[in-house]
Amino acid sequence: MKNLTTLLAGFVLLSMSGSLMAQTEVSDEQDNQNQAIEEITVSASRTDDTISTMPNQVTIVLEEEIKRAITISDNMSGVLETTVPGFSGSTSTQTLRGISLRGGNPLILIDGIPQYVSMFDSNKEANPIDMDFVSRVEVIHGASAIQGIGGTGGVINLITKTPSSEDGFSQDVTLRINSAMPTGDDSVSKKIAYTAGMRQGNLNVLFGYAKNTRGMSYDPNGDVVGLVRYSGSIGDTVSDDILLKANYTSGVHSLNIMHNRSEMESRSGWAPIAGCHPNRCSPASVQSSTKGWDEATNAMPPWADNVATSIDYVNQDLFSWKLVAQYYISDFEYRFDGSPSSFYSDSMPPVTVMGQTQVISEKDGFRFTLSKTLNDNIDITLGYDAVSEETSQIIPQNNMVLIPPTELDQSAPFIYANWKINDRFRVNAGARRVDSEVSMPDYMPIPYYLIRGSGPLTGGTTDSTDTIINYGVMFDITDNISMYASVTEGFELAEVGRVVRANGVAAGVTLSNDYMAIVPNIHENTEFGLRYNDGVTKLELSVFEQNAPFGNSYSPNEEGLLQISRLETRRNGYNVSFSRLISDSVSFGLSYAQADAKTDGDSNGSFETDLTSVSAGPPDQVKLYLNFALNDWDGRVSMIKYSDKDFKNTIYKFDGYKIANLNFSREFGNDKTFGVGLYNLFNEEYIDLYSQISRNNNWYVAGTGRTISMSYNQSF
């Protein structure tokens, strides 16, 4: 690692020393565009902050980068893996398990609407919206509570598209087809994404519809990639996404309405066949699939429905303050895949029956901010957030309740200030008071847990009050070089449902503040960073440490079911990202991310045990890319490499792998574009991160082999 770091540092310094020479090869337009990214307002910050004024690592992924990434993989994790430094692990499943940002769980937002289920974090927000509807991605790295619960690894805000900036009617249609190379049975996927927009004076509206019929994936040996049981895979599914947006602006007033509904369900053409995880049995074998779906052996097909709706009002001059107010609804309903198991039995003692679980979560919230600049150098933001959520989990075959309706009511006033002391030095600070109340009715755990020592729950209410702080400094050493330091805190609640349903106390428990397994957890992130940007060369180095005194980490039991450990955790590491414009037609970049995630298993302060990827303990990663233009074709070749890793004081290890991708596109007259993408260009054999660490036979799946994608886009 030391040699690699030294090599990167030397390479970067050499590139920076040649920046003046490169200025003659790069147009002023390219130069200005590169620097302009630093001045984009980061809406996920809930302020008017830009990258250049924020004392922590921030990544902006623009629409052009998203379009390139979609030609390789059009699911959210695939796009983020290729575009965001430090984002670990793409997945072909419907879950974010094993995916991390800086070794923690990222909070996913759609236009600021949180996609996080607080009371039962199943990580099913892996595909909350079709990525063809996303125009920009904002990523704030490191723990943050500015958007509420979650975000212990960072915040990822997916900004949806808007109509053309010109008055009139506009349309955009994309047709995409991809297939394994060589093709296999049912390996072809087909997609259409369509948007129609109208802008007339102060009013603009947008309608979008996307339908994605996915086939099966094949590994480099030509064998079908197994479907993941329980959480479900994106293979052999059909998804429909509808996006509606409307905006009316008059003077200082602006009203915006957004509605998105994304539904994904199995096509029931294939069914999973369990593999044999090397940590559980020998010889090992990967999960497979067989044609046809039989509910007698697989229960009902998996299904997910995600609805996000918001009404936003902005007043640019409310007694000289700027008001931003939002009311939102975020509803999830998803049915997991099933199997024969005593887990689903309603008899005592439990017997093996066919079953599955279904989670229903309804959330609505209101929030506003008031911001103002005082004395031309102090930006102050006052805000208030309120959210209500109800989540439950059932077994649909017998209507047995796994988790009764669990309610969360939370309110959080906050204040944030940014003081520009002079042209080169600024400080910021903020505080957020979080009042949380969780309530649950009396209920009896299912027989599966009763025979394992759990007892009845006496319902009631538990409440907590926590103060979350953040502060930082930013110093511009020169016009091109700046350094920063900050302390930010993120906030999470324990998964009350998962903890209480398996309380492990024969006499039962009472939901109260004395039941320590469900108390909130605060993650403190300390960060130091250095930025360089001259319009041609960009460099950022960020070093961080994140501590959580009462962590919320996961580990699988002997049967592969996740259980929660509330032990102190520590994550530390660093990220280096570098990019350079060689000319108007050539640019390249690289990033290196290292993160250690550990827990203090014996509470002696030594942090001797690595967190596994179930709890987001990622391996080191290197990402490289080269963008080029050749004979009217725009292209990008990229590579992602994950290093081997032994997880200390665990039975787990990770065998690293590298994936190379290639995509190129060409514009024709009348706004037509044709594109081709190749995933896993060299047909590398691999097992993805979570499959290696999950210890569950139903998750042990091979990685996808070489895949070709062809797309056609036209705007008119």
Please give the pLDDT value at position 146.
Answer: 85
- The single-letter code of the amino acid at 121 is D
What is the percent of the chain where pLDDT is above 90? 56
Q: Half-sphere exposure (CA, 13 Å, Cβ side) for 116?
A: 27
3 state SS of 59: strand
Looking at the predicted structure, is the pLDDT value of residue 17 above 50? Answer: no
β-bridge pairing 633-642 and 621-630: antiparallel
Most confident of 65-79, 189-203, 436-450: 189-203
Query: pLDDT tens, 649-675?
Result: 888 888 999 999 999 999 988 789 999
Please give the pLDDT value at position 330.
Answer: 95
pLDDT (average), residues 475-488:
96
Query: pLDDT tens, 570-593?
Result: 889 999 999 999 998 999 999 999
Please give the pLDDT value at position 29.
Answer: 53
Q: Give the separation between CA 510 and CA 272, rounded to whole angstroms.
A: 40
Looking at the predicted structure, is the pLDDT value of residue 338 above 50? Answer: yes
Q: pLDDT tier at 647 (50, 70, 90 boundaries)?
A: confident
Q: Give the separation between CA 380 and CA 401, rounded to whole angstroms.
A: 47
Q: Among residues 412, 510, 418, 477, which one has the least CA distance to residue 147?
A: 412
| First-last CA distance in the chain | 50
Q: Quick check: 553 and 80 in contact, CB under 8 A?
A: no
Question: Any bridge partners for residue 293, and if so which?
Answer: none
User: In which domain, by residue range, is 564 found?
Assistant: 2-715
Query: pLDDT tens, 553-574?
Result: 555 555 545 555 667 888 899 9
At 663, which helix (H) or strand (E)? strand 657-668
Q: Give the separation between CA 642 and CA 620, rounded to whole angstroms.
A: 6
Please give the pLDDT value at position 605.
Answer: 73
Q: Among residues 542, 415, 489, which one has the least CA distance to residue 51?
A: 542
Contacts of 503 (CB under 8 A, 6+ apart): 445, 449, 454, 455, 457, 509, 517
At 662, which helix (H) or strand (E)? strand 657-668
Looking at the predicted structure, is the pLDDT value of residue 6 above 80? Answer: no
Instruction: Report the range of poorest mean pLDDT among 71-75, 509-513, 593-597.
Output: 509-513
pLDDT (average), residues 386-409:
93
Looking at the predicted structure, is the pLDDT value of residue 8 above 50? Answer: no
Contacts of 573 (CB under 8 A, 6+ apart): 102, 103, 543, 544, 593, 594, 595, 596
Q: pLDDT tier at 339 (50, 70, 90 boundaries)?
A: confident
Q: pLDDT tier at 12 (50, 70, 90 boundaries)?
A: very low
Most confident of 256-260, 549-553, 654-658: 256-260
Query: pLDDT tens, 662-709?
Result: 999 999 887 899 999 999 999 999 988 778 877 677 778 899 999 999
Q: Give the separation between CA 516 and CA 519, rounded to whole angstroms.
A: 5
- How many other C-beta atoms lie within 10 A of the C-beta of residue 291? 12
Angle, CA of 269, 270 and 274, to the nearest 5° = 165
Number of domains within the chain: 1
- Residue 605, sorted as left (phi over 0), alpha (psi -120 to 50) or beta, turns out to be left
Q: pLDDT tier at 180 (50, 70, 90 boundaries)?
A: very high
33 compared with 68, residue with greater pLDDT: 68
- The DSSP call for residue 342 is G
Q: Give the separation between CA 660 and CA 623, rounded to whole angstroms.
A: 10
Please give the pLDDT value at position 19.
Answer: 43
Q: Using only C-alpha atoms, what is the Rg of the chain? A: 25
What is the percent of the chain where pLDDT is above 70? 89
Q: Tell me, rounded to whole angstroms, the distance of Cα 28 from its chain centroid.
A: 35
Instruction: Report the range of poorest mean pLDDT among 115-124, 181-190, 436-445, 475-484.
Output: 115-124
Q: Give the separation between CA 521 and CA 255, rounded to whole angstroms.
A: 36
Please give the pLDDT value at position 561.
Answer: 53
Please give the pLDDT value at position 510.
Answer: 77
pLDDT (average), residues 633-646:
93
- How many other C-beta atoms lie within 10 A of the C-beta of residue 82? 27
The domain that contains 608 carries what CATH number?
Answer: 2.40.170.20
Q: Give the separation between CA 420 and CA 485, rounded to whole angstroms.
A: 15
Looking at the predicted structure, is the pLDDT value of residue 487 above 60? Answer: yes
Q: Per DSSP, which regions of 396-515 are E strands?
A: 400-420, 425-440, 457-458, 460-476, 481-492, 509-510
Q: Quick check: 372 and 418 in contact, CB under 8 A?
A: no
Q: Is the whole-model pTM more than 0.85?
A: yes
Looking at the predicted structure, is the pLDDT value of residue 13 above 70? Answer: no
β-bridge pairing 106-110 and 154-160: parallel
Q: pLDDT tier at 629 (50, 70, 90 boundaries)?
A: very high
